[in-house]
Amino acid sequence: EPEVTQTPSHQVTQMGQEVILRCVPISNHLYFYWYRQILGQKVEFLVSFYNNEISEKSEIFDDQFSVERPDGSNFTLKIRSTKLEDSAMYFCASSALQGVIGEQYFGPGTRLTVT
């Protein structure tokens, strides 16, 4: 069964460093998403991406964040200068159809720890 994969599973970085979180969506999916979940809190939408551009973003997704689909298979989330409060699980998701009826499939997540 096809699945979304994410690497690394755990990333530890120092405050102020740049990190890139990687995702490989399901191969025939067209819509891609990043979410984060701070420990003990709810899953929060960051950004959605379609046709090589951002279609929606939340207020969390500020200038420190960027997304890219560099090679047609990977979908990346870059945090330019990490802060302590960026520590969270980051989930990638993909769907075949637009959100109103599209079903999102989530990856296993990357645990980001900023020290």
Using CB under 8 A, list all residues that contact other proteins.
Answer: 4, 31, 33, 35, 41-45, 48, 50, 55-56, 58-59, 89, 91, 93, 98-101, 103-109, 111
**What letter represents residue 101's amino acid?**
I
Q: In the numeric block, which tokens belong to residue 25? A: 């969506």
User: Hey, what's the torsion of the CAs at 101, 31, 59, 61, to 10 degrees?
Assistant: 160
Residue with Cβ nearer other proteins (45 or 69): 45
Distance in Å, CB of 68 to other proteins, minimum: 17
Distance in Å, CB of 14 to other proteins, minimum: 24
Q: Assess contact for 82 and 34: CB atoms under 8 A.
A: no
- Coil, strand or helix at 114: strand
Residue with Cβ nearer other proteins (14 or 85): 85
Rounded CA gap, 97 and 37, in Å? 24
Residue with Cβ nearer other proteins (19 or 31): 31
Distance in Å, CB of 17 to other proteins, minimum: 24
Q: How many CB atoms are located within 10 Å of the residue 1 CB?
A: 4
Distance in Å, CB of 33 to other proteins, minimum: 8
Residue with Cβ nearer other proteins (84 or 100): 100
